[in-house]
Amino acid sequence: MSDVDDHENSQQPLNLEDDVHVQDFERRLFRNVYIAGIVSVALTAVLTTSLIQTLSVALGAGLAILNYRWLHRSLKAILMGSSGKAPPGTAGKFILRYVVIGAVVWLAVQSSYFRLTGILIGLIAVMTGAAMIEAGRQAYLGIINRGE
């Protein structure tokens, strides 16, 4: 029987804090998100001569990091809850997250100091880059640990 089956049968809250592998993964993912954000902004600054595009990518990267941290805290609160059910207002918080991100993007584009393409590049590059860093790490570990 798996840990998930044990959890479903016990009706106890899932305690992710006890799992060292989960903590290590979360720590790496947080680090990777920041690395990907910095790299995406730095590459934009080097490869383009447009300050507006660089600022747009930086805003998108910042929003991606904010979105990830907000989502992570929300999901952790749900999974750590003692009742086994999502707290009241959880769906509203998920919707609010998208409304806030969308409002910031809309206001930024309306200001003419930012470009939508740059913001989208920043939003996408951060999470894609973070996932690629972790995938590369896992592939490397799989190759060097093949014989074990």
Task: Report pLDDT digits (tens) over 23-42.
Answer: 788 889 889 999 999 999 99
Say how many domains are in the chain: 1
What is the Cα–Cα distance from 19 to 30, expressed in whole angstroms?
A: 17
What is the Cα–Cα distance from 106 to 101, expressed in whole angstroms?
A: 9
Task: Report pLDDT digits (tens) over 60-117.
Answer: 999 999 998 888 887 777 777 656 676 677 778 788 889 999 999 999 999 989 999 9
- For the ranges 12-21, 81-90, 137-146, the lowest mean pLDDT is seen at 12-21
Q: What is the pTM of this model?
A: 0.75
- For residue 15, the model assigns a pLDDT of 54
Instruction: Provide the residue count of the chain.
Output: 148
- Can you give the residue range of the structural domain that contains 45? 3-144
